């Protein structure tokens, strides 16, 4: 699905990612952990194509196709979805308008007809309920005035509507109470399938009690310094990052 080779990236002239290697196969869930400032969000943003970050070396391919030169909207059409650590508000554009435009843009790219209004509404109502948000949220501006937890549920709602091939979640768990955390986890687990892959950036092990990853990677100072199975997350929970020679 995704192959990242020796990826290097900088922001405003400072190198943040210093050679990342990562292979994500279809159906796999990978967790990226690591202390604050290690480059987790940078990696997520670079994979999604945020132009504020400069790729200074290496390669990223999605199903064999290079992503580096691809603008962010085309990556989205190819099936890459990023749930932000700090979801953006889009006042004046309702959730419904936003989702319909996004879905139709993907469908147009694939040479498919626009989604019909009735089945779109049906799906939207189903998915908003799935993340425990009142259907009234569909008519509100995207994330406009939403609480932190509502924003994160809304990100999951978008993900469920768009059914991405590769979903990247950047600390979607941070600041959530246990109920909201379970909603997020259920959403991700509902999306899991042999054709889809998930990269979950998380600072805490807690989310991984509900979404069991296939692989865990520790990012520190722009490099993956350790990879393992799900037991690595438990080890980090127990021992912190110190034993890996990283300060928190
Ligand atoms: P993490 O998500 O692991 O906490 P980030 O990727 O957000 O880490 O940040 C990695 C480093 O890059 C930090 O030192 C941060 O200050 C720096 N950084 C991130 N974004 C920017 C930016 N837009 N401008 C300047 N520095 C940035
Ligand atoms: Mg951070
Ligand atoms: Mg971050």
User: Is the whole model's pTM more than 0.80, yes or no?
Assistant: yes
Tell me, in angstroms, the distance from the centre of ligand 1 to residue 11's CA: 8
Q: For ligand 1, atom 11, which residue shows the shortest CA distance?
A: 37
pLDDT of 246 strictly over 90: no
3-state secondary structure 103-172: HHHHHHHCCCCCCCHHHHHHHHHHHHHHCCCCHHHHHCEECCCCCHHHHHHHHHHHHHHHCCCEEEEECC
Other residues' Cβ atoms within 10 Å of the Cβ of residue 36: 8
Indicate if ligand 1 lies below 6 Å from the C-beta of 113. no
Q: Of all residues in the chain, what percent carry a pLDDT higher than 90?
A: 88
Tell me, in angstroms, the distance from the centre of ligand 1 to residue 37's CA: 6
Full strand arrangement of the beta sheet holding 53-62: 14-24, 2-11, 53-62, 65-66
Indicate if ligand 1 lies below 6 Å from the C-beta of 75. no
To test ligand 1's pocket by mutation, which of 8, 9, 11, 204 has the most ligand atoms within 8 angstroms of CB? 11
Q: For ligand 1, atom 26, which residue shows the shortest CA distance?
A: 11
Choose the weakest-confidence range: 2-6, 161-165, 234-238: 234-238
Lookup result for tokens 């994979």 = 47
**pLDDT for the residue 245:** 83
Tell me, in angstroms, the distance from the centre of ligand 3 to residue 31's CA: 13
pLDDT of 247 strictly over 80: no
pLDDT in tens, 20-63: 999 999 999 999 999 999 999 999 999 999 999 999 999 999 99
The confidence band for 108, taking pLDDT boundaries of 50, 70 and 90, is very high
Tokens (6 digits) for 158: 């978008």
Tell me, in angstroms, the distance from the centre of ligand 1 to residue 130's CA: 33
Atom of ligand 1 nearest to the CA of 42: 6
The confidence band for 248, taking pLDDT boundaries of 50, 70 and 90, is low
**Dihedral of alpha carbons 70, 188, 163, 161, sign:** negative
Tokens (6 digits) for 102: 């996004």
């Amino acid at each position: 699905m995704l192959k990242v080779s020796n990826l290097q990236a900088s922001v405003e002239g400072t190198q943040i990612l210093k050679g990342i290697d990562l292979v994500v196969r279809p159906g796999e869930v990978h967790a990226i952990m690591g202390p604050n400032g290690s480059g987790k969000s940078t990696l997520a943003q670079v994979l999604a194509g945020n132009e504020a970050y400069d790729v200074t070396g290496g390669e990223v391919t999605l199903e064999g196709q290079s992503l580096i030169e691809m603008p962010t909207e085309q990556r989205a059409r190819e099936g890459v979805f990023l749930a932000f650590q700090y979801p953006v508000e889009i006042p004046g554009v309702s959730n419904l308008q936003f989702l319909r435009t996004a879905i139709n843009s993907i469908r147009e790219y694939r040479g498919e007809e626009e989604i019909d209004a009735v089945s779109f509404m049906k799906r939207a109502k189903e998915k908003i309920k799935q993340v425990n948000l009142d259907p009234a949220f569909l008519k509100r501006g995207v994330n406009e005035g939403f609480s932190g937890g509502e924003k994160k549920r809304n990100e999951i709602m978008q993900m469920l509507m768009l059914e991405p091939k590769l979903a990247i979640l950047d600390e979607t768990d941070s600041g959530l109470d246990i109920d909201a955390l379970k909603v997020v986890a259920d959403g991700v687990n509902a999306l899991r399938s042999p054709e889809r892959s998930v990269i979950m950036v998380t600072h805490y092990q807690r989310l991984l009690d509900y979404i069991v990853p296939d692989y865990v990677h520790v990012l520190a100072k722009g490099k993956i310094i350790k990879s393992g199975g799900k037991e690595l997350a438990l080890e980090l929970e127990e021992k912190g990052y110190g034993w890996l020679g990283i300060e928190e």
